[in-house]
Chains A and B, each alone.
Chain A
Amino acid sequence: MSLPWLTLLIVVPLVGAVAAALVPRLAPASGDAAAQRSKQIGLGASLLTLVLGVAVAAQYEVSGGMQLAETHSWIGALGVHYALGVDGLGLLLVLLTVVLVPIVLLASWHDVEEEPGATGQRTAGFVAWALALEGLALAVFLATDVFLFYVVFEATLIPAYFLIGAYGRGDRGFAALKFLMYQLGGGLVLLGGVIGLYVVSAQAGTPSYLISDLQRLDLGQDAERWLFVAFFVAFAVKAPLFPLHTWLADTTERATPGTSVLLVCVLDKIGTFGMLRFCLGLFPEASQWATPVVVTIALVSIVYGALLAIGQDDVLRLIGLTSLSHFGFITLGIFAFSSQGGSGSILYMVNHGIGTAALFLVAGYLIRRRGTTRISEMGGMEAATPVLAGMLLIAGLATLSLPGLSPFVSEMLVIIAAFDQHWWVGAVAVSGIVLAAIYVLWAYQRMMTGPPPEDAGSTGSARTLDLGARELAAIVPLVVLLIGLGLYPRPLFEASNPYVADLMTHVGVQDDAPAVTQPAAEPAAAPEEQ
């Protein structure tokens, strides 16, 4: 035990954020040069964070449990600790975050446009807010104290708010406000739950917010159920689930694609992360009590999100709504109360993060080239930009869970768990796959095939050229991950299985972990329950 690795992991991006924000002020240069410099600082800081994340993963022992723990008293009077730790669930989401942020920065390199005569502050702001979001999101995934979790959970909203409000298109101020109101509303409900936990814990003896202390408490049935509801509502806004999802499409439509990646692929994972960590972790009995309602909400989200996605003409809205469907799947897996469901949902979080990020970024490339977000106004780009089209196809196929790509593994596990629960739950869930095929392939068809647009190729303008090196450098790692983890998902299982095994013991379910020795195409061969 030497370095506080987890603290470093949180601090590095935050320091990078401050540095990137101050560069245009401290070292006056022309707007472009200052902007360039803050982008380089941002990329450097995020790459350093990636290295730290990998270092943490290298030290992580696959046996499970909370590792690299750091615990210091923070506010003694309230029983609040600055407590960090990483387990399988946290590790995977940390890795997802540290991988996605440099990719987003790289992909958004030219997305922030400076006003004429500006000093590069707008660019610096984007980089700084993105890094701040990364640092706070990492803190969320590493916190092992409920109060600390709540603090950083809410604090992530500030960078997110400015990212949406300052850098999107259209009426982004409205979108940012709607986003924030939903999130803070959920957050305040969660505050009620956090306060309730303190009261229960204080009455049981010494107040403490450590998860490990809270898990030992006997909450009593009524208190546990009320607390569960408070936590679940907040996470259902975050994730989001029907009917609390209406902020999602409005936000992704107006935010830049890079911001959307940070929001949907990183920040929204906090919702499903929280369901596992807190709803199941602290209130196992209440979670089982609420399962019928939660499963219904999840199924409605799957189908309703997919149907809405089919009807969209705005590609960014479409991608946002597909995520509603995906979060339905993740929630379904979590509340299946089986090892397949648990592991499936954790893998789903990772795979959805990678696949949807790829989709958002490729869509962003396309929008830059066509100057529109309307699917009906695109079309015919396949011939002019074959690489772009190929990337879009791979990302799209990942979203519909094509076998061989990593989302397939997790989706199958969730669906198996759903069938184990009830045949009709599985049946409804499967319909989500069919609908996914429709929205992905139909959108691809309208965006890429058909007669080429009149300006494509003929003018040879930069707008219609195929992907450049920087854009490829951002998107290729995601595609490699999608294919690689599709063929060899074992590392994911090694991280998630011990965590899920512990969780299942905690909630009182006994079954076997999904087998991981088989390559991707065979997870269906995982042992049946019982």
Chain B
Amino acid sequence: MEPAAFVKPTIEYAQLWPVFLVFGVACVGVLLEAFLPRGRRAVPQLALAVAGLVAALIGTVVVASRSGVLPGGQARGRITAEGSIAVDGPTLFFWGLILVFALGGALLFAERRLDGGVSAFSGQAAALPGSDAERRTQHLEQTEVFPLLMFAVGGMLLFPASNDLLMMFVALEVLSLPLYLLCGLARRRRLLSQEAAMKYFLLGAFSSAFFLYGVALVYGFSGTMTFAGIDQAVRNDAGNRVLLLLGIGLLSVGLLFKVGAVPFQSWTPDVYQGAPTAVTAFMSAGTKIAAFGAILRLYYVAFGADPSMWQPMLWIVAIASMVVGAVLAVVQTDVKRMLAYSSIAHTGFLLTGVLGAQSLTDLAPGQVTSVQAVLFYLATYGCAMLGAFALVSLVRDASGEASSTARWVGLGRRSPLVAGVFAFFLLSMAGIPLTAGFVGKWAVFTVALSAGAWPVVVVAIGSSIVAVFFYVRQIRLMFFTEPVGEVATVTRPSALTSATIAVGLAGTVVLGLVPGPVLDLAAHAGQFIR
């Protein structure tokens, strides 16, 4: 048989260059590692990463300003790279969010003042905890984290943009593998960190396998990998429906694992706790945003013709995530674990927005759409999580970070500013008015109620009440409880961490008081294109 002639694919560089830029910077970062002496890498690596992220952010804005509205007026952008990447309004919004939070992550990675002049990353990842090798390498700096970060960011940019199943799988792996590594690099508490990385890797590999199996089954149903083709097949109802439903289920396992939805949440607390706090901060915001982008695109574009195939499942997953996340957060005694469980509950709230999908004809003009609500919620959630974890990294005792709640007792008296800002982030996560979290919560509940999912909204309100309890208990502990025994103190950070916290705080305040512009921007992003 004659092999088919090779056709050179067309790549629309004008749309895709921010992504290529990020990957390019990551490769240059690897070269820097190879050619610069160890002692001189930190500053160039940080500068390179920041410059790359800023340039990509500017690129995103440029691409967005040039993207034309498609006929019909509901969507903008274009399909690129032979149909495998869609650069549309929501994609660009996701890119903007991911890049902003990645910038914060890069700054946190570079923080060296907190631990007495060294970064939070292990000098030599391969050194066994407690061994001579570890002691010898203790003073060394690890700067591979920056290229790893950039590769992860590249994967995150591709994930919500991927317009066929293979690209989605590749993006999933590209974003996950560097994160598995990063989780295991903590300088302190090596064992906990390595355990977290191991757990995350094993479970992540498992879920990827599920995803891949799902890809195969959906391909078996539709005979195509592209979302547009799958959508056509669903509309025509051509093929074996059992394959389709099983495929959707398996794809969902892979995606819901990444966002930490129940019943695939068990890795979240361990990884959030064990990973270096800077990595947790970046990962909690970035991964969730990217993965929700992928979830939205997969469900709305590929399977949007018949929401009844996936909506009931999302009802159950959303309800379970909210309840399990909120209830288990109550019994946590570690701040990072508490935030991890609260992030599971937030996944449930976000899914509440996702399942509130309605066709545009069912919505009044100007009514909040489910894409708009989820986009906005992700922005508020990212600000609060990034800022909160950055603050966690400041609270330390003799053995490093003190994330046990017992050490946080009375922090409000010793450091009113840090405790006050942390309390503000908690209030935003709890959805108290005048913070960003409130508007986000309002938006996702509204779209769910509008789509008739009132039982989910009732559960969401119930679990919000439970969630308020543990947030407020933490505030009470910081401000009103008398400290007993050893307590943690706040270490003064360098400008890097301070800037990240300030950006998170500003975002939380501004999105709470004047959410209009960002809501309009999310509305302007419009719908997904096929």
Which residues of A are in contact with B by a Cβ distance under 8 Å?
Answer: 74-79, 150-155, 157-158, 161-162, 165-166, 172-173, 176-177, 180-181, 184-185, 188-189, 191-192, 194-196, 198-199, 202-207
Q: Smallest CB–CB gap between B346 and chain A, Å? A: 16
Instruction: Please name the residue on chain B nearest to A157 by beta carbon.
Output: B432
Say whether A202 contacts B364, CB under 8 Å. yes
Smallest CB separation, A530 vs chain B (Å): 42
* B224 is an interface residue with CB less than 8 A from chain A: no
Taking a contact as CB atoms under 8 Å apart, the answer to whether A191 and B446 are in contact is no
Q: Is the CB–CB distance between A181 and B442 below 8 Å? A: no
B55 at interface, CB cutoff 8 A? no
Total B residues in contact with A, Cβ cutoff 8 Å: 39
Closest chain-B Cβ to A454's Cβ sits at a distance in Å of 34
Closest to A177 in B: B476
Q: Contacts A77-B520, A151-B434, A191-B442 given: A181-B479 contact, CB under 8 Å?
A: no
A431 to chain B, nearest CB (A): 35
- Cα–Cα distance between A194 and B446 once the two chains are bound (Å): 9
Instruction: Report the minimum CB–CB distance from B465 to chain A (whole Å).
Output: 5
- Closest chain A residue, CB of each to CB of B520: A77
Q: Are B516 and A195 in contact (CB under 8 A)?
A: no
State which of B366, B430, B457, B469 has its C-beta within 8 Å of the C-beta of A77.
B366
B349-365 with Cβ < 8 A to chain A: 363-365
Residue in B closest to A180 when the chains form the complex, CB atoms: B472
Q: Are B520's CB and A76's CB within 8 A? A: yes
A427 to B162, CA, bound (A): 72
Contacts of B367 in A (CB 8 A): 202, 207
Q: Which of A77, A157, A165, A196 counts the most chain B CB atoms within 10 A? A: A77
Chain B residues with CB under 8 Å of chain A are 363-368, 372, 427, 430, 432-434, 438-439, 441-442, 445-446, 449-450, 457-458, 461, 464-465, 468-469, 472-473, 476, 479-481, 514-516, 519-520, 523
The CA of A181 and the CA of B464, in the complex, are separated in Å by 11
Residues of B within 8 A of A204 (CB): 364
Within 8 Å CB of A152, what residues of B? 433
User: What CA separation (Å) do A205 and B430 show in the bound complex?
Assistant: 31
Within the complex, the shortest CB–CB distance from A201 to chain B, in Å, comes to 9
- Can you name 6 A-B pairs with beta carbons within 8 Å? A77-B516, A161-B472, A172-B480, A184-B432, A192-B457, A192-B461
B458 touches A165 (CB 8 A): no
B446 touches A199 (CB 8 A): yes
User: Binding site of A, secondary structure by majority: helix, strand, loop or mixed?
Assistant: helix
* CB pair B479 A165 closer than 8 Å: yes
Among B366, B473, B516, the residue within 8 A (CB) of A206 is B366
**Given A77-B519, A195-B446, CB of A181 within 8 Å of CB of B469:** yes
Closest 3 CB pairs of A and B: A151-B433, A173-B480, A77-B519
Closest Cβ–Cβ distance, residue A51 to chain B (whole Å): 27
Given contacts A78-B368, A152-B433, A165-B480, could you give 11 more A-B pairs where the C-beta distance is less than 8 Å? Answer: A75-B515, A77-B372, A77-B516, A151-B434, A153-B433, A166-B479, A192-B445, A192-B449, A203-B364, A206-B365, A207-B366
Residues of A within 8 A of B520 (CB): 76-77
Give B463's nearest chain A residue, CB to CB: A188
Chain B residues near A192: list those with CB within 8 A.
445, 449, 457-458, 461
Task: Tell me which residues across on chain A come within 8 A of B434, comparing CB atoms.
Answer: 151, 155
- Which chain B positions have C-beta within 8 A of A172? 480
Q: A76-B520, A181-B468 are in contact. Are A189 and B461 (CB under 8 A)?
A: yes
Nearest CB in chain B: distance from A230 CB, A: 9
Residues of B within 8 A of A199 (CB): 446, 449-450
Bound-state Cα–Cα, A155 to B520, Å = 25
Q: Which residues of B contact A153 (CB under 8 A)?
A: 433
In the complex, are the beta carbons of A173 and B446 less than 8 A apart?
Answer: no
Asked if A173 contacts B476 (CB within 8 A), the reply is yes
Determine if B449 and A195 form an interchain contact, defined as CB atoms under 8 angstroms apart.
yes
Write the chain B residue with the least CB distance to A181. Answer: B469
What's the least CB distance linking B120 to chain A, in Å? 32
Contact B516–A196 (Cβ < 8 Å): no
Q: From B432, B433, B434, B438, name the one whose CB has the most chain A CB atoms within 10 angstroms.
A: B433
The distance from the CB of A127 to the nearest CB of chain B, in whole angstroms, is 16
* A195/B445 in contact, CB under 8 A: yes
The distance from the CB of A135 to the nearest CB of chain B, in whole angstroms, is 12
A153 to B438, CA, bound (A): 13
B472: A residues at CB distance < 8 A: 161, 177, 180-181, 184
Point out the residue from B427, B469, B480, B519 that lies within 8 Å of A78, measured CB to CB.
Answer: B519
- Residues from chain B with Cβ under 8 Å of A75 in the complex: 439, 514-516, 519
Quick one: closest B residue to A152, CB to CB? B433
**In the complex, what distance in Å separates the CA atom of A341 from the CA atom of B363?**
42
Q: Which of B449, B465, B481, B514 has a CB less than 8 Å from the CB of A185?
A: B465
A202–B364 alpha-carbon span in the complex (Å): 6
- In the complex, what residues of A have CB within 8 A of residue B479's CB? 162, 165-166
Q: How far is the CB of B422 from chain A (nearest CB, A)?
A: 15
Set of chain A residues within 8 Å of B450, measured between Cβ atoms: 199, 202-203
Task: Report the separation of the CA atoms of residues A376 and B363 in the bound assembly, to the nearest whole angstrom.
Answer: 65
A165 to B476 alpha-carbon distance, docked (Å) = 8
Q: How far, in whole Å, are A203 and B449 apart by their CA atoms in the complex? A: 12
Bound Cα distance A184, B469 (Å) = 9
Distance between Cα atoms of A184 and B431 in the complex (Å): 10
Q: Least Cβ distance of B467 to chain A in Å? A: 10
* A198 / chain B contacts, CB cutoff of 8 Å: 446
Closest Cβ of chain A: how far from B347's Cβ, in Å?
Answer: 19
Question: Across the interface, do B476 and A158 meet the contact criterion of CB distance under 8 Å?
Answer: no
Across-interface contacts of B514 in A (CB, < 8 A): 75
Contact of A188 among B372, B465, B480, B523 (CB under 8 A): B465
Give chain B residues whose Cβ lies under 8 Å from the Cβ of A181. Answer: 465, 468-469, 472
Q: Give Cα A153 to B446, complex, Å.
A: 19
Bound Cα distance A342, B519 (Å): 41
Tell me the nearest residue of chain B to A230, going by C-beta. B461
Q: Which residues of B contact A185 (CB under 8 A)?
A: 465, 468
Residues of A within 8 A of B364 (CB): 202-207
User: Distance in Å from the Cβ of A171 to the closest Cβ of chain B?
Assistant: 10
Residue of A nearest to B452 (CB): A199
Q: Which residues of B contact A207 (CB under 8 A)?
A: 364, 366-367
Is B368 a contact partner of A77 (Cβ separation < 8 A)? yes
**Which residues of B are found within 8 Å of A194, using beta-carbon distances?**
442
Please indicate the chain A residues that have their CB under 8 angstroms from the CB of B432 in the complex: 154-155, 157-158, 184
Distance in angstroms between the alpha carbons of A152 and B512 in the assembled complex? 13
Q: How far is the CB of B295 from chain A (nearest CB, A)?
A: 23
User: In the complex, A180 Cα to B474 Cα: how many Å?
Assistant: 13
Residues of B within 8 A of A79 (CB): 366
A85 to B449, CA, bound (A): 30
Cross-chain contact A184 with B516 (CB below 8 angstroms): no
B466 to chain A, nearest CB (A): 10
A191 CB contact (under 8 Å) in B363, B461, B473, B515: B461
Inter-chain contacts of B461 with A (CB < 8 A)? 188-189, 191-192
Distance A176 CA – B479 CA, assembled complex (angstroms) = 12
Q: Are A195 and B433 in contact (CB under 8 A)?
A: no
- A184/B468 in contact, CB under 8 A: yes
The answer to whether residues A191 and B476 also contact, given A154-B432, A155-B434, A205-B364 and a CB cut-off of 8 A, is: no
